[in-house]
A and B are shown apart, each in its own frame.
Chain A
């Protein structure tokens, strides 16, 4: 009787273990199925020519489906060493144009020289630093490389690495 019992237990445990292993593999497969497709992940690089931009003007381009703000700073806008890009004698602020609160797209207000997020009233200054409201951090800087007067988005150049301290 006892032998019989332990034999049954063993069969039960072996079966259970086997099923658990299969279940874990299946969960892994399900997780992977929800991952972004390779074609999405390899979303390309974009080159932007900065030379035609006027001072004080904001240009919005699309990169990986996200809006990127490029602002050519005019003389009266405060510069920000830690975030601005200087090339060819002019200063630019480049940032992912998504509010760091919940991801709305803020609008540039030329009158106050601010980006305002209408969703929950967040405000950012000309360098993309959050100055009021719920956004918890400045707008993110997209990976970029400077190539003369051109900006290549998607590639991490030395200028980018300088601005963004090593990611944890």
Chain B
């Protein structure tokens, strides 16, 4: 241990014990960010802020919420909404942030895909990011169920039933997960635990790993330009700030992020105050009733695309029941994004999509297809809707099967505008 001297001040006192100066350098003032990035790169910070909003509003809701099937509905819809001062604010903030966070996650994710930020040294960022997406999905789903309204109840019924599709142990597994033969009190209390304790802990841990995994390969940039961070940062420290291609995270880069966060929060509070209902399903203002299913069940908007993949196959193929195909497709859709760094077989190429013609088309087709899936996921699955859903599902699966092929062709192509350098 180094010798502890008499401190010259509070910071020095801390520095001798916690190496705060070093820490601030590594994390903030000498954490280098490329200059050449646009507002899409601010989404990470926006997500962080939204997550904080969720935690704070969640803590206030937690003080009045009662995880008991007899009390849950009223504790939310009466106590929190009517009695608790500003209870409505916390609830609307929590509900809107839960929805908004998914919108920003999707933007964040598609930015990563567009700029090829998932490969060449950044695979772990992508993997932890997708793991975070999975955890946020579980978090959103377990939270959605807590108000014990009709839609929450049936969403829980349907989603837990999905596990019944697993061969052999399926039926027993569903009962085990629910802790009852149906979604009941035991289910509510365990989901409550997941939502307020276990999943947030896992999410916090994953966020830490996600950030850390960015430290070595550094942030990508708009042109996916490769440069030496050591050389560039040295220029900056030597005072050649204009010439240097990087800026420190704090205070220079964050000042730009703060602006984006400011805009995002303005929109957020506009929604909280004037359009909170977009995150609230009207059917959920009816208490749960296990003897009556609402006529049309759908999840929140951010799950619609995978929900549509699940029900896209509505007829049996070659004797395989439609349900099994649907489940398999659903499983595929949920893991395939994880594998993206390994499906893109153009290992050297991290250029943005507009410099990779085939990939560019692939990217936009994927985005459009997911929007189509989302829209049709909300519509009743009858008549033509069913066929559009089926078609979009096939396109979705096909795109991911094609990806290794087109990226391999791109890697082999020698021409200049074939996407190689």
Contacts and interface: CB of A to CB of B under 8 A. Distances in A.
Contact of A133 (B158, B162, B314): B314
Interface stretch (B20-28, B118-126, B182-190): B182-190
Given A36-B179, A43-B181, A121-B314, A136 B324 contact: yes
B211 to A, nearest CB: 30
A111 interface: no
Contacts of A31: 176
A120 B314 contact: yes
Given A40-B186, A43-B181, A134-B326, A104 B292 contact: no
Contacts of B314: 120-121, 133-134
A134 B311 contact: yes
B381 A40 contact: no
Interface in B154-169: 154, 157-158, 161-162, 164
Contacts of A109: none
Contacts of B177: 34
Given A34-B179, A64-B181, A120 B381 contact: yes
A120 B380 CA distance: 7
Given A104-B293, A121-B381, A134-B311, A66 B182 contact: yes
A119 B186 contact: no
B158 A103 contact: yes
A118 B292 contact: no
A64 B175 CA distance: 12
A66 to B, nearest CB: 6
Contact of B176 (A34, A134, A135): A34
A78 interface: no
A35 B179 CA distance: 5
Nearest to A43: B181
Contacts of A62: 290-291
Nearest to A105: B293
B5 interface: no
B15 interface: no
B323 A134 contact: yes
A4 to B, nearest CB: 29
Given A118-B296, A121-B381, A133-B314, A36 B181 contact: yes
Nearest to A62: B291
Interface in B170-204: 175-182, 184, 186, 190
A16 to B, nearest CB: 25
Contacts of A37: 179, 186
Nearest to A65: B182
A102 interface: yes
B382 A121 contact: yes
Interface string A8-47: 0000000000000000000000010011110010010000
A105 B323 contact: no
Interface residues of B, number: 37
B161 A102 contact: yes
Contacts of A60: 291
B347 interface: no
Contacts, number: 86
B282 interface: no
Contacts of B292: 105
Interface in B316-341: 321-324, 326
B158 A104 contact: yes
A36 B182 CA distance: 10
B144 to A, nearest CB: 16
A33 B216 CA distance: 42
Interface in A104-121: 104-105, 118-121
Interface in B233-283: none
A67 interface: yes
A61 to B, nearest CB: 9
B386 interface: yes
B214 interface: no
A145 interface: no
A103 to B, nearest CB: 4
Contacts of B190: 34
B17 to A, nearest CB: 33
Nearest to B326: A134
B161 A40 contact: no
A118 B294 CA distance: 8
Contacts of B294: 118
Interface of B: 154, 157-158, 161-162, 164, 175-182, 184, 186, 190, 290-297, 311, 313-314, 321-324, 326, 380-382, 386
14 contacts: A36-B175, A40-B179, A65-B180, A65-B181, A65-B184, A101-B323, A105-B291, A119-B158, A119-B296, A120-B381, A134-B322, A134-B323, A135-B323, A136-B322
Interface of A: 31, 34-37, 40, 43, 60, 62, 64-67, 101-105, 118-121, 133-137
Given A102-B162, A133-B314, 9 more contacts: A34-B177, A64-B181, A64-B182, A65-B181, A104-B157, A105-B291, A105-B293, A121-B381, A134-B313
